[in-house]
Amino acid sequence: MKHELHPVLGRLLGREHKETLLHQRPLALWFTGLSGSGKTTLALRIERELHERGHLCQVLDGDNIRTGINGDLGFTTEDREENIRRVAEVSKLFLDCGVITLNCFISPMADMRQLARSIISAPDFIEVFVDAPLAVCEARDVKGLYKKARAGLIPDFTGVSAPYEAPGVPDIHLETSGRSIDDCAEEILAVVLPRISPDTH
């Protein structure tokens, strides 16, 4: 006897059930900026701060995305856009589970970030522009990426041989040069904490 198949989406527990279980409202923080600007450093700090307050988070960045789900992608414009599309879809799945996501990707072009915002949905999306001058980013270059890019060993490297379109009106604009991580984290938390409180639902 054949069983009629039904779409699973209509039978899944809704996001509101996960929010109630976790006592939080999920958000996607999208950290954008040049390599070395401090995106992942800040995201890891925010993850720890939120965790200590009882909130469940997941950091997504190149280390856990490009070595796994996006391991087949390079750094052409098309591959970068596909990288961002997949990340946004993964982030959306986490949000549907009630989990706060901290996304750390250069995402150099405005249309890439708009794509991510449209997939995740604008009310759940906070664009964080981690703004540091190129010279400061190069000075922080612990991986030696800028040196390799300057030597022509890394083609299409953002800030050197490929452009970066700075956000016009980001939700949070952090000029990290000369500021402590504590100061930057406090500015982010001031925006995020009221929005993830279940009392604001």
The active-site residue, picked from 35, 37, 91, 107, is 107
Contact 108, 165 (CB under 8 A): yes
- Kindly state whether residue 104 falls inside one of the protein's structural domains: yes
Identify whether 5 is part of a domain: no
CA distances to 142, 150, 172, 184 from 153, in Å: 17, 7, 34, 33
CB 4 within 8 A of CB 139: no
Judge whether 22 lies within some domain: yes
Is 7 a member of any domain?
A: no
Inter-residue contact 94 to 101 (CB < 8 Å): yes
In 3-state terms, what secondary structure has residue 97? coil
Digitized pLDDT (tens) for each residue of the chain, 201 residues in all: 455 555 665 667 788 888 888 889 999 999 999 999 999 999 999 999 999 999 999 999 877 777 777 777 877 788 888 989 999 999 999 999 999 999 999 999 999 999 999 999 989 999 999 999 999 999 988 788 989 999 989 888 998 988 999 999 999 999 988 889 999 999 999 999 999 988 754
Distant-in-sequence, close-in-space partners of 185: CB < 8 Å, separation ≥ 6:
42, 45, 46, 49
Residue 200 lies in a domain: no
Please state, in angstroms and rounded to a whole number, the distance separating the CA atoms of residues 9 and 59.
25
**What letter represents residue 107's amino acid?**
S
- Check which CATH number belongs to the domain holding 140 and give it: 3.40.50.300
| 167 within 8 A of 129, measured Cβ to Cβ | yes
Residue 4 lies in a domain: no
Q: Evaluate if pTM is beyond 0.85.
A: yes
Determine whether 107 is an active site residue. yes
pLDDT of residue 124: 95
Residue 1 located in a structural domain = no
Residue type, 198: P
Largest CA distance in the chain: 70
CA Rg value for the chain: 18
> Which residue is listed with tokens 């060993």?
153
Q: Is residue 139 part of a domain?
A: yes
State the residue range of the domain holding 120: 13-195
Number of domains within the chain: 1
